[in-house]
Amino acid sequence: MPLMKPALCFALALGVALPLSAAIIGTNSAALPLTANRVAALPKNLQSAWREYLARSEQQLRADQNFFRTEMKKHSVKESLPPPPGSSQSRLPLNQPKAWYGQAEALRIADIVVSFQTPAGGWSKNLDMTQHARAPGEQFAGGNASIHLARFDNDAPRESSWSYVGTFDNSATTTQLRYLAKVVVAIGPDRSDSYRAAFLRGIDYILAAQFPNGGWPQVWPLQGGYHDAITYNDDAMIKVLQLLNEVAAGHDEFSFVPESTREQAAAGIRRGIECILETQISVDGHHTVWCQQHDALTLQPTSARNYEMPSQSGAESAGIMTLLMGLPNPNPKTIAAVHASAVWLEKTKLHDVAFKPVGDEGRQLVPSPGSGPLWARYYEIGTDRPIFGDRDKTIHDNLNEISKERRQGYSWFNNAPQKALERYDRWKEAHPRR
Residues paired with residue 167 on neighbouring β-strands, in sequence order? 219
Q: What is the C-alpha separation between 419 and 415, in angstroms, rounded?
A: 8
Q: What is the C-alpha separation between 366 and 352, in angstroms, rounded?
A: 9
Q: What is the C-alpha separation between 286 and 263, in angstroms, rounded?
A: 35
Mode of pairing for the β-strands spanning 26-27 and 394-396: antiparallel
Q: What is the C-alpha separation between 168 and 264, in angstroms, rounded?
A: 19
- Selected residue with higher pLDDT from 360 and 179: 179
Q: Which of 305, 363, 391, 406 is catalytic?
A: 305
CB atoms within 10 A of CB 433: 10
Flag whether pLDDT at 22 surpasses 60.
no
170 is catalytic: yes
Query: All domains of the chain, ordered by start, with CATH?
Result: 1-30+284-434 (1.50.10.20), 49-279 (1.50.10.20)
Q: How far is residue 50 from each of residues 79, 211, 217, 422, measured CA to CA in Å?
A: 36, 8, 13, 40
329 is catalytic: no
Flag whether pLDDT at 189 surpasses 90.
no
Amino acid at site 400: N
Output the DSSP codes for 276-320. HHHH--EETTEE----SEE-TTT--B---STT--SSEEHHHHHHH
Amino acid at site 311: S
Flag whether pLDDT at 9 surpasses 60.
no
pLDDT-derived band at 10, boundaries 50, 70, 90? very low
CB atoms within 10 A of CB 384: 15
- SS3 call for 353: strand
pLDDT-derived band at 143, boundaries 50, 70, 90? confident
- For the segment 94-122, what is each residue's pLDDT rounded down to a tens digit? 999 999 999 999 999 999 999 999 999 99
For 203, counting Cβ atoms within 10 Å of its Cβ (0-12 exposed, 13-18 middle, 19+ buried), the class is buried
Q: Which of 126, 170, 213, 306 is catalytic?
A: 170
For the residues 356-377, what does the mean pLDDT come to?
A: 92
For the residues 202-213, what does the mean pLDDT come to?
A: 98
Flag whether pLDDT at 192 surpasses 60.
yes
- SS3 call for 398: coil
Mode of pairing for the β-strands spanning 3-4 and 282-283: parallel
- For the segment 224-256, what is each residue's pLDDT rounded down to a tens digit? 999 999 999 999 999 999 999 999 999 999 999
Percent of the chain surpassing pLDDT 90: 85
- For the segment 381-430, what is each residue's pLDDT rounded down to a tens digit? 999 999 999 999 999 999 989 999 999 989 999 999 999 999 999 999 99
Q: Is 427 left (phi over 0), alpha (psi -120 to 50) or beta?
A: alpha
Residues paired with residue 85 on neighbouring β-strands, in sequence order? 127
Q: What is the C-alpha separation between 307 and 192, in angstroms, rounded?
A: 45
Question: Which run of H or E residues covers position 366?
Answer: strand 363-367
pLDDT-derived band at 11, boundaries 50, 70, 90? very low
pLDDT-derived band at 30, boundaries 50, 70, 90? very high
Flag whether pLDDT at 186 surpasses 90.
yes
